[in-house]
């Protein structure tokens, strides 16, 4: 991969990570986290690490946001 | 210990760590360069054991003991979550809980993707030693695949599709299988997790010796573990109420 592709991928990761941190509401943040996970997956593919990309895709964009959303739902029920 | 002593201790430790890390980073091969001693060693050892996916060769052959440690960490986390999220006193299990209103299109997509996702999960586990992926990735795909039924609004169907006791057993069996294959290596070759028959045709399904077997063990453990983990979360979020107003 050319260094331009790597710089582009890193920039999108930085922007998307910042956006996730700056998202206020936790449930919106879970969705932003899923998007950030996809961007990270792209970075790993660009860096030629398909095994890590697969792990990131499965855990970061599916399991973790789902767990966060379920935890938020439970917390709302208690309140 | 006073605050000043603690800070002084931290400063000494942090300075030592910074020096060591700095020295280690300075000695690393530069990013994207042609010289890479660790790659050379890993690729040579992977080819010697007929493992086409070098990452799997590192994870399940050369450094399989690290992977065993990771599996035990996952097992411990799932046991911890199951303990914390169990039904407490004064909480009630709601019967016939549903996932709320779901769009017809979402239902359709959920059912369509269910079979495809499970198939991809099995494929990723089975070919971990040949192509990117392996037990961990495939296991997570399998576990999330089941939950497409929940996305499709069928929490009841999801509960019937995954009888929890079976998956709790599967998690333990996967971890035991991994440790057992390690003991087999110790008994036969005198090294824990040593590759028992590192032969086969390079790049074919039957190659890489114990690597695919360890992948299957990890796949069973991770799929079962993540299913149990998400089941505990789902149960808390959907089916358990704290006894107050519903």
Inter-chain touch A54–B124, beta carbons under 8 Å = yes
* Whether residues B162 and B202 fall in one domain: yes
Question: Binning pLDDT at 50, 70 and 90, where does residue B100 land?
Answer: low
Query: What total number of domains does chain A contain?
Result: 1
Under 8 Å CB pairs connecting chains A and B tally to 53
* Whether residues B233 and B143 fall in one domain: yes
Q: Does B37 touch chain A (CB under 8 A)?
A: no
Question: pLDDT, tens digit, for every residue of B200-211?
Answer: 777 777 777 788
Instruction: Please tell me the pTM assigned to this model.
Output: 0.82
Question: Binning pLDDT at 50, 70 and 90, where does residue B245 land?
Answer: very low
Neighbour count for residue B36 (Cβ, 10 Å): 14
pLDDT at A79: 67
Residue range(s) defining the domain that contains residue A68: 3-78
Rounded to whole angstroms, the Cα distance separating B83 from B105 reads 37
Q: Is residue B168 part of a domain?
A: yes
| C-alpha neighbours within 13 Å on the C-beta side of residue B154 | 19
Chain A residues with beta carbon closer than 8 angstroms to that of B241: 77
Question: Binning pLDDT at 50, 70 and 90, where does residue B159 land?
Answer: confident
Residue B92 bridge partners (DSSP): B241
Q: Is residue B61 part of a domain?
A: yes
* Whether residues B59 and B29 fall in one domain: no
Facing B137 at nearest CB: one of A58, A70, A78: A58
CB B52 within 8 A of CB B202: yes
- Among B78-92, B102-116, B201-215, the range with the most confident prediction by mean pLDDT is B102-116
Q: Does A48 touch chain B (CB under 8 A)?
A: no
pLDDT at B97: 55
Facing A63 at nearest CB: one of B53, B133, B144: B144
Neighbour count for residue B34 (Cβ, 10 Å): 6
Answer yes or no: is the ipTM higher than 0.90.
no
| Nearest-neighbour CA in chain B from A44: distance (Å) | 12
What mean pLDDT is predicted for residues B164-179?
A: 90
Structure tokens at A9: 């991928």
What mean pLDDT is predicted for residues B240-245?
A: 58
Query: What total number of domains does chain B contain?
Result: 2
- If you measure CA to CA, which chain A residue comes closest to B148? A62
| Nearest-neighbour CA in chain B from A40: distance (Å) | 16
pLDDT at A24: 86
- For all residues of chain B together, what is the average pLDDT? 85
Inter-chain touch A54–B133, beta carbons under 8 Å = yes
* Whether residues B211 and B114 fall in one domain: yes
What mean pLDDT is predicted for residues B74-100?
A: 77
Chain A residues with beta carbon closer than 8 angstroms to that of B67: none
pLDDT at A20: 92
* Whether residues B129 and B8 fall in one domain: no
Question: Binning pLDDT at 50, 70 and 90, where does residue B246 land?
Answer: very low
Neighbour count for residue B81 (Cβ, 10 Å): 19
pLDDT at B52: 85
* Whether residues B66 and B137 fall in one domain: yes
Residue to substitute from A30, A41, A58, A73, interface B, most B β-carbons within 10 A? A58
Pairwise pLDDT comparison (B157 vs B147), residue with the higher score? B147
pLDDT at B243: 53
Q: Is residue B207 part of a domain?
A: yes
Question: pLDDT, tens digit, for every residue of A17-60?
Answer: 999 999 989 889 999 999 999 999 999 999 888 999 999 998 88
**Is A75's pLDDT higher than 90?**
no
Helix or strand run (H / E) with residue B194:
none
Residue range(s) defining the domain that contains residue B10: 1-35
Helices (H) and strands (E) in chain B, counts: 10, 2
C-alpha separations of B231 from A33, B52, B168 in Å: 21, 36, 11
């Amino acid at each position: 991969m050319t260094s331009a592709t790597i710089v582009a991928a890193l920039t999108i990761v930085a922007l998307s990570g910042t956006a996730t941190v700056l998202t206020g509401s936790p449930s919106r943040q879970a969705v932003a986290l899923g998007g950030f996970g996809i961007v990270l997956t792209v970075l790993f593919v660009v860096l030629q690490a398909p095994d890590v990309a697969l792990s990131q895709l499965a855990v970061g964009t599916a399991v973790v946001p789902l767990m966060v959303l379920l935890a938020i739902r439970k917390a709302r029920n208690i309140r | 210990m006073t605050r000043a002593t603690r800070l002084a201790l931290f400063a000494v430790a942090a300075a030592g760590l910074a020096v060591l890390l700095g020295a280690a980073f300075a000695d690393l091969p530069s990013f994207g360069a042609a010289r890479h001693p660790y790659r050379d060693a890993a690729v040579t050892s992977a080819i010697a054991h007929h493992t086409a996916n070098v990452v799997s060769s590192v994870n399940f052959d050369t450094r399989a003991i690290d992977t065993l440690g990771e599996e035990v960490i996952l097992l411990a986390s799932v046991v911890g979550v199951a303990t914390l999220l169990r039904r407490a006193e004064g909480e009630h299990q709601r019967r016939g809980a549903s996932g709320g209103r779901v769009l017809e299109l979402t239902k359709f997509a959920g059912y369509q993707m269910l079979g495809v996702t499970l198939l991809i999960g099995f494929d990723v586990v089975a070919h971990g030693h040949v192509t990117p992926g392996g037990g961990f990735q495939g296991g997570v795909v399998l576990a999330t695949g089941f939950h497409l039924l929940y996305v499709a609004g069928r929490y009841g169907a999801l509960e019937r599709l995954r009888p929890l006791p079976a998956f709790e057993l599967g998690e333990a069996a996967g971890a035991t299988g991994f440790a057992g294959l390690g003991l087999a290596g110790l008994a036969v070759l005198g090294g824990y997790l040593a590759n028992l028959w590192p032969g086969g045709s390079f790049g074919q399904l039957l190659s890489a010796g114990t690597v695919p077997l360890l992948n299957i063990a990890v796949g069973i453990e991770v799929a079962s573990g993540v299913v149990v983990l998400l089941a505990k979360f789902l149960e808390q979020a959907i089916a358990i109420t704290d006894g107050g107003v519903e």
